[in-house]
A = this chain, B = another copy of it.
Amino acid sequence: MNNLGNFLTLSTFGESHGIAYGGIITNFPAGIEINFEEIQHQLDRRKPGQSSIVTQRKESDTVQFLSGTFEGKSTGTPIGFVIYNENQKSKDYEHIAAAYRPSHADFTYDQKFGIRDYRGGGKSSARETINWVAAGALAKHILPSTIEIHAYVSSVGDIFCMKPYQDLDFSKIESNDVRCPDEETAEKMISKIKEIKKEGNTIGGTITCVIKNLPIGIGEPVFLKLQAELAKAMLNINAAKGFEYGSGFCGATMTGKEHNDLFNEDFTTKTNLSGGIQGGISNGMDVYFRVAFKPIATILRPQESVDKDGNLVIVEGKGRHDPCVLPRAVPVVENLAAFVLADLFLMNQIRKI
């Protein structure tokens, strides 16, 4: 219910300024050797303070696995993990104990629950995604090692990476601070973010994710279509506003004659507007999708707002915030996708017995 995954499940907890984040993964198969360093590496890719274009908070974001492995291998029993919070400056948030920040969840949480941990946004903080990165990086161990999942920043504001993903060198994603593999575009994006940051403003963008070498057969016919599970996962990321796969919104302008992917004799297709999925099930071609992110709502400038009694107040972001969520969202998208794929991969194992 409040889980990610259907057979392989992730349950999570944690608030921005609480004691810790953490989660439990169930139905992880036994006997898989776990690369704990790689999992921490994925968390390091997401953590704050990595470069000048992200928040300057310093947190080690160290994940500790508490169960479910023995002598380096999974035992088939639930895997618990915890990531303790550090370096919280709750005082930065006292001004919003009673005030509602525009385009934040302060008002809706208060209305829904009648109580709200306002410190750092509490449960509504995007820090929750730390759990997803840890769980996704773990789940990736279930997938065949040949699978590749590459996410990159494909636009920041109106600066778009115009090259199709086929023309990009994914090994360059980590070579710059914004995580766009096209160096020239990356530089423009970085300049744009620095400029926006100087204004105390924030900016949105998109992330493209490409999955290569996914086995055929992943995804289920009804209610667990591969694209639907990916969309659900991605739209749970805090600032996500949209999802499209294959031809996406552009495909909605086309005709069937243009859009149909004709087969080769080896069952690959000549084109791939379908985005590697037919009838909700992977067909062996690249799966690719794009996620839209709004600009972060916390800006370091005064904004008019209201308090819980409806009085006008001025709120102004304090503390250390990201001017652009995109660079740090790249490992979130990748690892979240890995979790979705691992879940559907396991389900597919028992389709033919």
Contact = CB atoms under 8 A, between A and B. Distances in A.
Interface stretch (A23-31, A51-59, A169-177): A23-31
A303 B256 CA distance: 11
Given A102-B262, A231-B232, A292-B248, A223 B3 contact: yes
Given A2-B224, A278-B105, A30 B256 contact: no
Q: Specify which of A263, A275, A352 lies most central, judged by the most chain B CB atoms within 10 Å of its CB.
A: A263
A96 B24 CA distance: 28
A248 B104 CA distance: 16
Nearest to A68: B13
Nearest to A279: B105
Contact of A102 (B20, B78, B261): B261
Interface in A224-281: 224-225, 227-236, 238, 240-249, 251-267, 269, 273-275, 277-281
A69 to B, nearest CB: 9
A209 interface: no
A157 B204 contact: no
A67 interface: yes
A19 to B, nearest CB: 5
A79 interface: yes
A85 B93 CA distance: 35
Given A242-B244, A283-B108, A253 B2 contact: no
Contacts of A65: 19
A342 to B, nearest CB: 11
A82 B15 CA distance: 15
